[in-house]
Structure 1
Amino acid sequence: MLQSKPGGALAQEAVECIAAIREQPRFAPFADVSEDVLRSISSVGEESCDDIFFDVAASDLIDTKSIDSVHSFISSHQHNSAPQAGGAPKRQVLARVAGTGLAPWEIHRPQQFVRDLVLRGRCFSGRVLDAGCGIGDNALFIQKACPQAHVTAVDVVPRCLEFAAAKAKLRGMCGKVQMLAADLLELDPARQHQALCGPDADGAYDCVLDSSTFHCFGDADRERYVAVLGRLLRRGGLLVMNCMSEEEGRPGGPRRITVPDLLSVFNRQSGWEVEVIEDSIIELHPTFWGGKALARLFTIRKL
């Protein structure tokens, strides 16, 4: 049976990861994160089994040394590009808070839906891509729980990968998960990270995990993102996507994805088939929205 870490061990690991990262000179802005902030991570429990890409000037209202400031901003309409139209989160905001260990979605454990999928024996075999891996908890869990898989974790914010690498070291998993800084909106294979594409530009992966990535994009960006995933995923491969649903009515957060909206992008005409739609949640820091948001889990096959 799979064993999960107790909340105290996860909290200590999170503190150690932040400490390791803030020792690095290029992360000096986070060097004086208070011990109170570090202690706040101890409330994260186990409930069940380079900023070079972005202009961060627009997000200067966020004090990234304060968990209260980060959570307050992301739970407001300031977080969205067009809140009245269900706009996507501002990319410069995501870039500023991602990988600090304080963002609401950085819960320092794999998401519940990922744990459930592993326990159900679904999806994660062969070459697995964690698209928008964040600080790496899902990717590291899948690799350890599914040793037959070969996991590649990708994020556009290098700081996230530094955090993920620190977690891998603490877990004795250095080198077990391939971690790449890459932009999954880059349509030109020649400009994409060679290690991401593998020896073949098309069909490198058997499964793609999207844990709260798709819902971060506006219309134009998500078209590019889906095109890139379509190139990376082999024919017959699975895309597993967990997105915040329109049933989550609290302000702030990412774009809400309705079923018709999802089906307008993923359909047989565009080369995809949505096989399963399930109610789900997104686990969050317990001080943000009570620790969870309403979501849907989509299992989508590439035709």
Structure 2
Amino acid sequence: MSDMPPYRHSGAGNPWRNPDDLYAGRPPWDIGRPQPAFLALAEAGAIQGRVLDVGCGTGEHALMAAGLGLDATGVDLASRALDAARRKAGERGLTARFLCHDARRLAGLGEYFDTVLDCGLFHIFDDNDRSAFVGSLRSVVKQGGRYFMLCFSDRQPGGQGPRRVTRGEIEAAFTDGWRVDSIDPATIDITTDPDGIRAWLVAVTRI
């Protein structure tokens, strides 16, 4: 996958100055369905209550939650992606909110959530923005609430795309007010490679 394009920016940070540029065409992470790892969580009943999809892109995971009858909100900074998410909701007859909002400043929503989903956002941040993002999450996740993340793993070969994330980095990020429940090998499906991307599936509880 040496020719893999920059993988994702949808929600905050500034590896790309204009997130809308990523949606001028169809980016490789926009697979038109939920990621299998998150779909398995939904089928297992792990996604509950009020759900927030951070860096939601075109909304597949927020819409998955809405399809379960849950109160679902997606946030992103890419207006093109949000417009696409709203169109999908209308076409599928689902109710979900899609808001243009910075994932590093979730307290500004003035709301609390039971479940937060993150596919491909955490790994775009540098160290400072990563700390801000985790603090932002802490401000909106209810005690006992869960954060589920799919991120690029250091198991992924090559050097293209976003920074690889190690188990140690994940554990270090979620110390104050969190319990890391699991960090498991997983795959992020993309349109440009049938083998997908090696990832971590992370489950964290707010304590």
TM-score (norm 2): 0.89
Whether the aligned pair in 2 keeps the contact of 1:129 and 1:151 (CA below 8 Å) is: yes
Whether the aligned pair in 2 keeps the contact of 1:139 and 1:152 (CA below 8 Å) is: yes
Partner of 2:110: 197
2:146 maps to a residue whose letter is L
Measured in 2, the distance between the counterparts of 1:185 and 1:257 equals 19
1:159 aligns with 2:91: no
Partner of 1:225: 133
Whether the aligned pair in 2 keeps the contact of 1:89 and 1:253 (CA below 8 Å) is: no
Measured in 2, the distance between the counterparts of 1:94 and 1:281 equals 24
Unaligned runs of 5+ in 2: none
Partner of 1:301: 205
Query: For residues 238-272 of structure 1, what are the alpha-carbon distances to aligned partners after superposition, in whole Å with 9 as ceiling and x for unaligned?
Result: 011111100101331122110011111112xx111
Measured in 1, the distance between the counterparts of 2:150 and 2:6 equals 19
Task: Give the number of the structure whose alpha-carbon radius of gyration is greater.
Answer: 1
Partner of 2:145: 237
2:177 maps to a residue whose letter is G
Measured in 2, the distance between the counterparts of 1:235 and 1:172 equals 32
Query: For residues 60-117 of structure 1, what are the alpha-carbon distances to aligned partners after superposition, in whole Å with 9 as ceiling and x for unaligned?
Result: xxxxxxxxxxx76437xxx9xxxxxxxx9822264411x3451110111111111111
Which structure: greater helix fraction? 1
State percent identity of aligned pairs: 32
Partner of 2:15: 90
Partner of 2:31: 107
> Of residues 261, 267, 273 in structure 1, which corresponds to 2:179?
273
Measured in 1, the distance between the counterparts of 2:85 and 2:25 equals 10
Unaligned runs of 5+ in 1: 1-70, 80-87, 199-203
Tell me the SS of whatever aligns to 2:103.
coil
Whether the aligned pair in 1 keeps the contact of 2:65 and 2:71 (CA below 8 Å) is: no
> Of residues 120, 131, 134 in structure 1, which corresponds to 2:57?
134
> Of residues 36, 42, 55 in structure 2, which corresponds to 1:118?
42
Whether the aligned pair in 1 keeps the contact of 2:148 and 2:203 (CA below 8 Å) is: yes
Which structure: greater strand fraction? 2
Measured in 2, the distance between the counterparts of 1:73 and 1:128 equals 30
Task: Choose between structure 1 and 2 for higher RCO, CA contacts under 8 A separated by at least 6 residues.
Answer: 2
CA root-mean-square deviation: 2.2
**CA offset at residue 297 of structure 1?**
0.6
**CA offset at residue 289 of structure 1?**
3.3
Partner of 2:116: 208
Number of positions where the alignment pairs a residue of Structure 1 with one of Structure 2: 202
Whether the aligned pair in 2 keeps the contact of 1:89 and 1:254 (CA below 8 Å) is: no
For the structure 1 residues 238 and 184, does the alpha-carbon distance in structure 2 shift closer, same or farther, using more than 3 Å as the test? same
**CA offset at residue 139 of structure 1?**
1.1
Query: For residues 206-263 of structure 1, what are the alpha-carbon distances to aligned partners after superposition, in whole Å with 9 as ceiling and x for unaligned?
Result: 1111111100111111111111100010111101111110010133112211001111
